[in-house]
A and B are shown apart, each in its own frame.
Chain A
Amino acid sequence: MGDKFGIIVFPGSNCDHDCYHVVKHVFGRRAGYVWHKETDLSGYDCIILPGGFSYGDYLRTGAIARFSPVMGEVMDFAERGGPVIGICNGFQILTESGLLPGVLMRNRGLKFVCRQVYTRVENNRTVFTANYMRGQLLKIPIAHADGNYFADDDTLKSLEDNGQIVLRYTDSEGNATEEANPNGSLHNIAAIINRGGNVLGTMPHPERGCESVIGSEDGRGIFESVLEAM
């Protein structure tokens, strides 16, 4: 496989450039933008659904973007086992499209929360986290109003049982407490993966944690892990 990242651009995406910058300038790999009306993903080895406010978050976050022409191709790409990363709004689009279970609701505190948080690596046996240690703490920024992960009890249980919870919000000591939960997510869930292990949804922004000059390099492992797998 190659090393080319396809970054999907929806009307209202605003972290597409951050992702492009990280892949291209921090890691020196290939990246290309894919406008949401395109329907050809051949030539790409990993797809990123970036953060932002696709379609103004109208109706529900991610609900309209999920019907963009490119999403059919993204579903096929994922079906074939291709790695897909949804960050923030991208995570919301993945849950709306059914590629990941559950839903991201309005934050418990109703406010947009934009700050560095601590998350703990719960599962490092994934193509996105292999370069981390299990239990490692990552300081990564979040920036969202709708990151409150919800799923019914059966879904939560199967996420837990199958190791699909990849990151959990914790305090600086690594304890997944109620106080360390920035948005009310059930089980302090910050990132999950599908059963097939190739679709990752994360509310924290790894692409904003790749350079020490902006406060953290802890997000690099996600890109390094997937690059090694590619």
Chain B
Amino acid sequence: MKIVHYIEFLRSNIKTLRNTLIAYLVVLVLYDILLHLVEHGHYFIDNIPAFWTIFGIVGCFLLIKVAKGIAHIFLSKDVDYYG
């Protein structure tokens, strides 16, 4: 299968892949900041540059921490909990 080869090629060049993705993230944020110079919205969330970048990072971090935290405190049970 060709696809398997492509995936293995990417896996063996993981550093280049990582650097490319980081460059992409930087371009994305710059693009949003530029966009805010020309477009203005109605609500406060529309007028903060890179708002959704911050939202993405904070939201994802909180979601993982809170969900895993609550699961460990009382939601998680053994598989045969209900018998």
- Our verdict on whether A and B bind, yes or no, reads no
